[in-house]
Amino acid sequence: MFKINRDLLSKNKYTALSIVASVGLLMLAFRKRKINPFESTYRRVAQEIQQKVLTARYVIQTELKLSNEDKTLILNSSIPQIHKFYESKKFTCLDVLLTFLEVSLEKGFKMGYLNDVNFEDAIQKARQLDQELKNTNYKIENMPLFGIPISVKDTFIVKGTYQAFGCGAYAQKRSEIDGIQGYLINKSGGIIFAKTNLPQFGFSYESWNYLFGRSIHPQDPQRTSGGSTGGEGGLLAVNGSPLGLGSDSGGSIRIPSHFCGLYGYKPSAKRLIMRGQAKGVPTWDGIRNIASCYGPMAKHFPNLVNMMQALTTNYEQAPINIKDINFVMKTFDEKECYNNNKKYKIGVLRKINLLLPCKANQRALDMAVEKLRAQGHTVIEFDIDQSIYENVFQHVYDVMLGDGGMKGTYELYKGEPWITHFDNFKKATQSCPLWKKIYQKWLKLQNRKRELMIWKAGDHGLSYYENLQITTRLTASQIQMIQIWHDLQLDAVISPVTAGVAVKHNTAQHCFSGICYTFFWNMIDFSCGSVPITTVQEDEQYYNEESLFGAKDIEYKVLEETMKHSAGLPVGIQVISKPLEDEVCLNIMRQCGQ
C-alpha cells in the first residue's frame, strides 16, 4: 500500500497545498467549461454576412444620392406617404430601400438587431419595381406593400436566408423557397431585405443568443429591446425598417412594441395561416394549447393595416406546398380599421394580481381612457374574478414544461450551450424528485407563490390524459371569457402590456409573471395589439405596488430595479378584442394612439 512521507509533506506543506489547490481549480475550470461545437459555424455565418454587407455598402455609396433632408423625410413617412412619393416620381423604390438599408447597416449589427440579410435580392427587386413603375398604366393601389422594404423575424422562411432560431445547429443550409408569408409579401410588392434577432429558440422576452449576439434597447444599452421579436422592435425603433413581421406565442410582438414605443399587432391564431415559419420544437404542429400567431410591427399605424391586407390577399394563388389545406382565409376589411362612426363599449383591465403594473403603465391606461371617451366611446371598469388569470397562467407553465424535463428542448440544441434564461426552468424540471418536493414546501412556507407555479409545473411530465385536461380547461376559460364579454356587451378591453417597462439585461428570466398581461390572451386566443401612449416621467421611476399574489420575491425586486433611471422610456397599452374581430381591435388601437 502507498504510504505518505509525513516528513516530506510537513517540510513542503505550502507547496503541496498549492499543488492541490491548482489541481482543484483546473478540475473546476474544465468541469464548468462547456465545449461549444458550433464556434466554427458562428465564424462562417459572420463572414458570409460581412461579404453581403460590403456589397450593400458599395451600392449605397454609388447609387444613393439623396440629401439628408430627403432621407429624413423617407425615414419618417408611413406607407401611404411613401406610395404618394412613388406616384409623384419624387423618389424611386431603390431610393427608399437604400435609405433604410443605410440606417440598418449603421445600427442594426452594432445594436444586435440584424441576423441574416437578403440585400442583393432586395436591391434587384427594387430595380424591377422601378421599371414597372415607369409604365404609365401600372397601378400600385392594389399592392399594399409596393416598394416597401420589410424586415422579418428570423423564424420566417425566406429564400436565400437561414431560419436559425439563434442556434448554430440550424445555420447550416439556406432556404431554397419562400414560405407563405414571403410569398404573400412579394405578391403585394414588398421587399424583404433582412432577418432580425431573437432569443435562442425564441424562449425568452430578452433577445440574445450565441450566434447573433444580444439586442439592446434603442435608448438604453443596459436594457433589452424585448423578445422574442426583439431584434425587429429595435430595428424599427431606430428607423432601420419601416415595417416588420414578428410572431407571438405569449407577447413576442406586443412586448418589444411596448418596450420600444411601437405599434404591434397579434391577430387571433385562426385569422392567418400558421405555416411559413421554421419549427421551434419538433412537435410544433401538435401544439394546440398556446395559440401562436404572427403579425406586423411599425412606428406608424397605417403600416399595420397594409401588412394585414397583404397577408390576407393572394392566398388562393399560392403554391400548394406552402399552403394549409385545412385553412380558409377570411377577408380583411381595411376600411373598418378607419371607421370613426362606429362607437364601441370598452372595458378597462387595470391589474392582474399576479404582478401589479407600475405607475407609468397605470397613467398610460388613464390617458387611453380619456382619448376613447373624447371620441364618443363608452368605457367601463373590467374587474372580474382574478382566479381565471391565475389558473390560465399556471397552464402556461404546465404546457411549456410538460414534457418531463424539457426533453424536446434538449434535442433541439444538439450540443450548443443554453443561454442562462432557461436556468429557472431547468432547475424546476431536472432536480431530483425528493428535492423538488422539499423545495416546493419551502416555497409554500415562504409564500413565494409565483416561483411555486414554475416548480409545480416542472414536477413531472404530463400524461396524454393530463394534456387533454389542460386543453379542456383552456377551452372552458375561453368560453367563460366570451360569456363575460357578452354579458357586459363589450367590444374590447384595454390593459397594460406588461407590469413594467423595458427590463435590464439578464433579468427577464426572473420576472416571468410580468408578462401575464399578454400570455393570458394567447392561451384563450383573443386578438390583441400594443399601442404607444407616453413615456415614463421623472416621478414614476420607482415600483412600490402591493404584492397581491405572495411575498415580495425576486420578480418584485426585478421591477424595482427596472423602474430605476427609467425616465423617458416608452410606455404602451394593450387593446384586446374577441377572436377573429381583428378590424375592431385595429380600429380601437388607431384611436388610442392618435
Query: What percent of the chain is modeled with pLDDT above 90?
Result: 77
Q: For residue range 265-307, list pLDDT tens digits in order.
A: 999 998 998 888 886 555 555 566 777 899 999 999 999 999 9
Residue 61: its H or E element: helix 39-63
List C-alpha distances in Å: 312 to 273, 306, 315, 331.
9, 10, 7, 7
Instruction: Please tell me the predicted confidence (pLDDT) of residue 298.
Output: 98
List C-alpha distances in Å: 380 to 372, 503, 572.
11, 31, 19
Average pLDDT over residues 358-374: 98
Lowest mean pLDDT among 40-44, 152-156, 165-169, 259-263: 165-169
Instruction: Assess contact for 495 and 573: CB atoms under 8 A.
Output: yes
Nearest-CA neighbor of 368 among 260, 252, 497?
A: 497
Q: For residue range 75-90, list pLDDT tens digits in order.
A: 999 999 999 999 999 9
Query: Beta-strand (E) ranges in 285-342?
Result: 293-298
Query: How far is it, in rounded angstroms, from Cα 53 to Cα 141?
Result: 33
- Catalytic residue of the set 207, 228, 241, 257: 228
404 pLDDT band, cuts 50/70/90, is low
Query: What percent of the chain is modeled with pLDDT above 70?
Result: 92
Strand 191-196 relative to strand 149-153, pairing: parallel
Instruction: Assess contact for 391 and 456: CB atoms under 8 A.
Output: no
Question: Cell 416598394 appears where?
Answer: 147
Instruction: Please tell me the predicted confidence (pLDDT) of residue 287.
Output: 60
Q: Where are the domains of the chain?
A: 38-327+339-386+489-593, 392-488
The answer on pLDDT for 493 being more than 60 is yes
The answer on pLDDT for 1 being more than 50 is no
Architecture field, domain 38-327+339-386+489-593: Alpha-Beta Complex (3.90)
CA angle 185, 188, 192 (to 5 degrees): 35
Instruction: Indicate the burial class of 149 (C-beta count within 10 angstroms; 0-12, 13-18, 19 or more).
Output: buried
- 22 catalytic? Reply is no
List C-alpha distances in Å: 594 to 163, 397, 534.
36, 37, 12
Share the mean pLDDT of the chain.
Answer: 91
- 252 catalytic? Reply is yes
- Catalytic residue of the set 153, 323, 359, 578: 153
Q: For residue range 508-518, list pLDDT tens digits in order.
A: 999 999 999 99
17 pLDDT band, cuts 50/70/90, is low
Residue 584: its H or E element: helix 582-593
The answer on pLDDT for 2 being more than 50 is no
Instruction: Assess contact for 389 and 354: CB atoms under 8 A.
Output: yes
The one-character DSSP state at 172 is: S
Average pLDDT over residues 380-395: 94
Instruction: Please tell me the predicted confidence (pLDDT) of residue 45.
Output: 96
The answer on pLDDT for 498 being more than 60 is yes
List C-alpha distances in Å: 414 to 36, 116, 201, 286, 526.
10, 21, 12, 21, 35
- Catalytic residue of the set 104, 188, 207, 252: 252
Query: How far is it, in rounded angstroms, from Cα 161 to Cα 153?
Result: 11
29 pLDDT band, cuts 50/70/90, is low
Instruction: Please tell me the predicted confidence (pLDDT) of residue 22.
Output: 67
Q: For residue range 137-186, list pLDDT tens digits in order.
A: 777 888 999 999 999 999 999 999 999 999 999 999 999 999 999 999 99
Instruction: Assess contact for 187 and 219: CB atoms under 8 A.
Output: no
